[in-house]
Amino acid sequence: MEGLRNAVGTLCLTDREAVFFSRTWGRLVARRIGPLLALESRKGLVLDEVVLIAADGLRVRFDLLAGQLESARNEARRQSPSLHVA
């Protein structure tokens, strides 16, 4: 996504949409991603990867510190039971 490269923030999943909150020049910025079709995830040694796939085909990749992927996957399933979580 434009302007998010190497941004640190919070990814919030609600129903079939996602919003990424970060700070740019000290101001809170919210970027909406969605509607979502699926989530893909991969475990790594230091970083885990989550890829959000939007309805328009856009693929947005996020990195999580290793060990956080399982709790993120469980929360995505809890928030959006109809969303395909791989």
Percentage of residues of the chain with pLDDT beyond 90: 0
pTM of the model: 0.69
The residue among 81 and 86 whose pLDDT is bigger is 81
Q: Tell me: the pLDDT tens digits for 5-20?
A: 677 888 887 777 888 8
Rounded distance between C-alpha atoms, residue 47 and residue 79, angstroms: 23
Task: Please check the confidence at residue 72 and state whether its pLDDT lies above 60.
Answer: yes
- Whether the per-residue pLDDT at 84 is higher than 80: the answer is no
Query: Could you give the C-alpha distances from 12 to 36, 45, 76, 83, in angstroms and in order?
Result: 12, 24, 9, 14
